[in-house]
Structure 1
């Protein structure tokens, strides 16, 4: 199992992921924004390494990311994000007000539950292999589901956003929105209809810590 370590890994955390996995990117962003050191282990999704027996022993669902900590293993990025926030509450990525925190969580769910699962690698493979979808049809599928979710997010950012997706400080909402915008750009999904959403993503990417979490800057990034 290839291991790529961040300097020191003082926290004892090991992030199992893949450079272009948007769910892994979410976790890297949260860790970076909080200044938490960690080591990385790569599982190349293109080669199916997430289905290897040694990884399934850690993460039975066969997906990345998984986060090892002090003998335990966490799976599913929304749960990992909440755990990070609970363990390292400063700087906060959830507002203290319950109503505001619920709205941030709703933004997270819009991406993690409504958009991402329908444009995941295994879904796209199923469309191609089991239903004979052409690349144009797969592209249209992704654009449709991303567009539906982004339309809702654009409205929410218009109501609640400031410099970032919710208010003037980064939140967990930004941690999931930025990777989804990255995916949209990767698949050439038009973004002109979502100026507030894109501006919030760009604001987070302008932070040095967030830049370090970018897929292109990971040790396993393809050349």
Structure 2
């Protein structure tokens, strides 16, 4: 399948968009970033223009030619099916199930509870103080990481979350570790997670996807 005309609607610090950037890089696919600033102008994701792209008003969205794919995990699986080289899922069904379970642990059980729209609802509707919002985020990341750390003790774990080839599980894990550090979680308390993150970031596909390197990142952002 042609890789021409790939446009990723993204925000530099969105962990869901970060996952997709990693997947695109692992596949060696060229793409153009279409910035959607989640804070500017009341949140550009709420504009009529972007709502026509994604009615959920969330990033990322991937436009391939005239087709738009939404939801980060659906996008990653689309990339894997459209461009099978450098696969993001193992061959065996049981191994694919393990990888998907770890990816979903992050994408469905940890990330939604510390997403921007949740935290802004706490702030704007319930007037929850910053310290309490931060404690909420830390609690759910630490609980999720605790479970994932146990899963990573299984023999199927290798250099990466599963075996010695990066998968969609790693695409989800690395951005969540970035978020964990933002909110003061001690990642060193989860040695398997910390080791895998370091292994991933040694690869250009992961390193080049880092938030601070994106074209819409604020200058001087570290």
TM-score past 0.5 threshold: yes
For 1:155 and 1:36, the matched residues in 2 are separated by 33
4+ runs deviating over 2 angstroms = none
Residue 136, structure 1, aligned to residue 131, structure 2: yes
Report the counterpart of residue 151 of structure 2 in structure 1.
Answer: 156
For 2:152 and 2:6, the matched residues in 1 are separated by 32
Would the aligned equivalents of 1:19 and 1:215 in 2 still touch at CA under 8 Å? yes
Once the two structures are TM-superposed, the CA of residue 10 in structure 1 deviates from its matched residue by 5.2
For 2:191 and 2:54, the matched residues in 1 are separated by 37
Deviations along 1:147-166, whole A, 9 cap, x unmatched? 11101111111113211111
Deviations along 1:172-213, whole A, 9 cap, x unmatched? 100000000000011111122211011111111100122111
Report the counterpart of residue 91 of structure 1 in structure 2.
Answer: 86
Report the counterpart of residue 22 of structure 1 in structure 2.
Answer: 15
Report the counterpart of residue 38 of structure 2 in structure 1.
Answer: 45
Would the aligned equivalents of 1:165 and 1:201 in 2 still touch at CA under 8 Å? no
Deviations along 1:101-131, whole A, 9 cap, x unmatched? 0000000100110001110001001111222
For 2:88 and 2:20, the matched residues in 1 are separated by 12
Gaps spanning 5+ residues in structure 2: where? Answer: none
For 1:68 and 1:107, the matched residues in 2 are separated by 26
> What aligned pairs does 1:166-185 form with structure 2 within 5 A after superposition?
166-185=162-181
Residue 106, structure 1, aligned to residue 101, structure 2: yes
Report the counterpart of residue 212 of structure 1 in structure 2.
Answer: 208
For 1:82 and 1:71, the matched residues in 2 are separated by 18
SS across alignment from 1:165:
coil
Question: Which one of 58, 64, 67 corresponds to residue 72 of structure 1?
Answer: 67
Once the two structures are TM-superposed, the CA of residue 218 in structure 1 deviates from its matched residue by 0.7
Would the aligned equivalents of 2:4 and 2:65 in 1 still touch at CA under 8 Å? no
Deviations along 1:37-71, whole A, 9 cap, x unmatched? 10110011011001111110010000000000120
Residue 62, structure 1, aligned to residue 46, structure 2: no
Report the counterpart of residue 147 of structure 1 in structure 2.
Answer: 142
For the aligned residues, what is the CA RMSD? 1.2
Gaps spanning 5+ residues in structure 1: where? Answer: 1-8
Residue 165, structure 1, aligned to residue 161, structure 2: yes
